[in-house]
Amino acid sequence: MANYFNTLPLRLQLQQLGVCEFMDRSEFNEGVKKLLGKKIVIVGCGAQGLNQGLNMRDSGLDISYALREAAIKEQRQSYKNATENGFNVGTYEELIPTADMVCNLTPDKQHTSVIKTIMPLMKQGSTLSYSHGFNIVEEGMKIREDITVIMVAPKCPGSEVREEYKRGFGVPTLIAVHPENDPNGEGLEQAKAYAAATGGHRAGVLRSSFVAEVKSDLMGEQTILCGLLQTGSILSFDKMVEKGVEPGYAAKLVQYGWETITEALKHGGITNMMDRLSNPAKIEAFRLSEELKEIMRPLFQKHMDDIMSGHFSKTMMEDWANDDANLLTWRKATGETAFEKTEIASDPISEQEYFDNGVLMIAFVKSGVELAFETMTEAGIIAESAYYESLHETPLIANTIARKKLFEMNRVISDTAEYGCYLFDHACKPLLADFMKKIDTNVIGKSFGSGNAVDNQELIKVNAQIRNHPVEKVGAYLRSSMTEMKKIV
C-alpha cells in the first residue's frame, strides 16, 4: 500500500483538501431514518466506540459490538464496556456477515489488520465507516468495490462525545464519502444519518473529505489541542513552583484552569476569553501571545509540512513497527512530571481567579488557537474545518485535563494523537526556554495587579487585533448555529 494522498496529482490534492461545506441544519431533517432498522456493528469498544454506540442506541439505532475473540475470552475492558452497558457482543464471524454497516473504531495502528480480517466477512453492498481518515489516506487501504466507505469524525474526545450528547448538545463532526467507494451513491445520506445519531448535527457538520479530515485532525491534535496544552501545563506548573507558589495551588490552577478559561472561548471566542481579563492584564496577555506566536510559528509550520508530506505518518508507523517503543516511553515520562504527581490543594479557586492568575495560560491558548488556524488555512484547509479543529475542540480537550490532568487527556485521545502530542511537546519546551526565563508570578500564579487604567489608543489597537482575527469571524458564524450549546463551568 502507498500513501493515497501522495499518489494524487497536486490538482486533486488541493481539490480534496478543499472539500468543506457547512451543512445547514435542515439537511438533517430526516434524522436517523436512513439507518433505522439497519444492523450496525461497531468493531472496537474504546473511547469512540463505546461513546458513539451509546449515542446511536439512544437515537434509536440497532447497535452491537464485534470484538476480537481474546477480548471476549479474557473479558477485557472493551468487553466490559459493551456488556455492562447492555449491548449485544459477538465475534467477527457471528456479527459481521449480517451487518448493514460496520464501524471500524479500533486504534489506527490496527486498522490494516482489522480491515483485512473483517472485509472478507462483510456482505455485498454493505458499508464500512471510519472516524479518522488515516487508514485510507496515509496507508492507502483499498476497500472492496461493492462496499460503501464513509467517515463520521467527531472533532472531540470520545468521552465528551457522550457528555455533550447527554447535555442535549453534540460535537462538531466531519463527514465524508471515499470517492473510490460509493457504488450506490448512498454514502452521504448514510453518513448524515450516522452524524445525527451521534448528536453531531446539533453542533455543526461539515461535508468534508478523508484527506481534509486527516490532515486537519493530525495538525490540531499535535499542536493546540494536545501538544500545546501539555507543554503549557508543564511549563506553567514548573514556573510557579520555581517562584515559590504552593505546589498544590499551582497544580489546581493548571488542572482546572484550561477548562475554566476555555469555557469563555467556547461561548464567545478569543474575544470573550480576553475580555474576562482586566485591561492591563489583557494587554499583557496579548503581548505574551504575540511573542509566543513568533517563537512557535516555525514549529507549527513544521508539523503541518510533515503531516502534508506523509513524513509524520511514516515516523509514527516506524514506532508502530517497533512495538510503540517511543509512545510508551514518552507516556511514562509524562506520568513522572511534577505536575502529574502533585496532589491539588483543597482550597477553592474562584472562577474569576483562574483568569486573573492565569494570564500566561490565556496567552498560550490565544497563541495556539490563532497559530493552528493560520497554519492550517495557509496549507489549504478551509476556515470552518480549521475552526472546529482549533478553537472549538480546545475546551473539549481541557475538560479531560480537568478530570485527571494529562493522564486523562492522553488516555482518552487516540494513540495517534498521543504520539503527535509528545512529538510537539518535546520540541516546544526547549523552544520556549528563553521565553519562560522572563516569566514571573505576575502572569502565572498570582494576580496581575489591581486597577484598570491603560492607554486608550493601545487598548483600542489590541481589541481590534483580537476581534478581527479570521478565527473570530468564522467562529461567530459557526457558533450562531450552536443554539443548544450548554454551560459547563
Ligand X SMILES: CC[C@](O)(C(C)=O)C(=O)O
Ligand Y SMILES: NC(=O)C1=CN([C@@H]2O[C@H](COP(=O)(O)OP(=O)(O)OC[C@H]3O[C@@H](n4cnc5c(N)ncnc54)[C@H](OP(=O)(O)O)[C@@H]3O)[C@@H](O)[C@H]2O)C=CC1
Where do contacts with ligand Y occur on this chain (CB under 6 A)? Answer: 44-49, 67-68, 71, 76-78, 105-108, 110, 113-114, 131-132, 153-154, 157-158, 412-414, 416
Instruction: Decide whether 255 or 414 has the Cβ nearer to ligand X.
Output: 414
* 414 in a known ligand binding site: yes
Residue 268 binds which of ligand Y, ligand X, Mg ion, none (CB < 5-8 A, kind-dependent): none
Task: Give the count of residues interacting with ligand X (CB under 6 A).
Answer: 12
Instruction: Decide whether 99 or 417 has the Cβ nearer to Mg ion.
Output: 417
417 is a site residue for Mg ion (CB under 5 A): yes
Residue 225 binds which of Mg ion, ligand X, ligand Y, none (CB < 5-8 A, kind-dependent): ligand X
Instruction: Decide whether 178 or 276 has the Cβ nearer to Mg ion.
Output: 178
416 is a site residue for ligand X (CB under 6 A): yes
443 is a site residue for ligand X (CB under 6 A): no
Residue 226 binds which of ligand Y, Mg ion, ligand X, none (CB < 5-8 A, kind-dependent): ligand X
* 46 in a known ligand binding site: yes
CB of residue 410 to ligand Y, shortest distance in Å: 10
Q: Write down the residue that cell numbers 459490538 correspond to.
A: 65
Instruction: Decide whether 17 or 89 has the Cβ nearer to ligand Y.
Output: 89
Question: Which 109-168 residues touch ligand X, going by CB under 6 A?
Answer: 155-157
Separation between Cα atoms, residue 361 and residue 254, nearest integer Å: 8
Separation between Cα atoms, residue 300 and residue 74, nearest integer Å: 42
| Part of the chain binding ligand X (CB under 6 A), chosen from 314-322, 330-338, 412-420, 450-458 | 412-420
Instruction: Decide whether 245 or 417 has the Cβ nearer to Mg ion.
Output: 417
Separation between Cα atoms, residue 211 and residue 189, nearest integer Å: 20
* 418 in a known ligand binding site: no
Residue 132 designated active-site: yes
In our burial notation (b when 16+ CB lie closer than 10 A, e otherwise), range 232-271 reads bbbbbbbbbbeeebebebbbbbbbbbbbbbbbbbbbbbbb
* 293 in a known ligand binding site: no
CB of residue 237 to ligand X, shortest distance in Å: 21
Instruction: Decide whether 159 or 375 has the Cβ nearer to ligand Y.
Output: 159
226 is a site residue for ligand X (CB under 6 A): yes
CB of residue 72 to Mg ion, shortest distance in Å: 27
* 82 in a known ligand binding site: no
| Part of the chain binding ligand X (CB under 6 A), chosen from 17-25, 80-88, 185-193, 410-418 | 410-418
* 479 in a known ligand binding site: no
472 is a site residue for Mg ion (CB under 5 A): no
β-pairing verdict for 39-43 and 148-154: unpaired
217 is a site residue for Mg ion (CB under 5 A): yes
Number of CB atoms found within 10 A of residue 124's CB: 8
Closest CA to 164 of 204, 197, 200: 200
The three state secondary structure string of the chain is CCCHHHHCCHHHHHHHHCCCEECCHHHHCCCCHHHCCCEEEEECCCHHHHHHHHHHHHCCCEEEEECCHHHHHCCCHHHHHHHCCCCEEECHHHHHHHCCEEEECCCHHHHHHHHHHHHHHCCCCCEEEECCCHHHHCCCCCCCCCCEEEEEEECCCHHHHHHHHHCCCCCCEEEEECCCCCCCCCHHHHHHHHHHHHCHHHCCEEECCHHHHHHHHHHHHHHHHCHHHHHHHHHHHHHHHHCCCCHHHHHHHHHHHHHHHHHHHHHHHHHHHHHCCCHHHHHHHHHHHHHHHHHHHHHHHHHHHHHHHCHHHHHHHHHHHCCCHHHHHHHHHHHCCHHHHCCCCCCCCCHHHHHHCCHHHHHHHHHHHHHHHHHHHHCCCCHHHHHHHHHHHHHHHHHHHHHHHHHHHHHHCCHHHHHHHHHHHHHHHHHCHHHHHCCCCCCCCCCCCCCCCCCHHHHHHHHHHHHCCHHHHHHHHHHCCCCCCCCCC
Instruction: Decide whether 220 or 232 has the Cβ nearer to Mg ion.
Output: 220
225 is a site residue for ligand X (CB under 6 A): yes
CB of residue 426 to ligand Y, shortest distance in Å: 21
CB of residue 360 to Mg ion, shortest distance in Å: 26
Instruction: Decide whether 213 or 284 has the Cβ nearer to ligand X.
Output: 213
Separation between Cα atoms, residue 140 and residue 1, nearest integer Å: 5
CB of residue 85 to Mg ion, shortest distance in Å: 24
CB of residue 156 to ligand X, shortest distance in Å: 6
50 is a site residue for ligand X (CB under 6 A): no
CB of residue 294 to ligand X, shortest distance in Å: 25
**For binding to ligand X (CB under 6 A), which residues are involved?**
155-157, 217, 221, 225-226, 397, 413-414, 416-417
Extract the annotated binding site for NADP(+): 45-48, 68, 76, 78, 108-110, 158
The residues that are catalytic are 132
Annotated binding site for Mg(2+): 217, 221, 389, 393
Residues making up the binding site: 45-48, 68, 76, 78, 108-110, 158, 217, 221, 278, 389, 393, 414
Binding residues for Mg ion (CB under 5 A): 217, 221, 414, 417
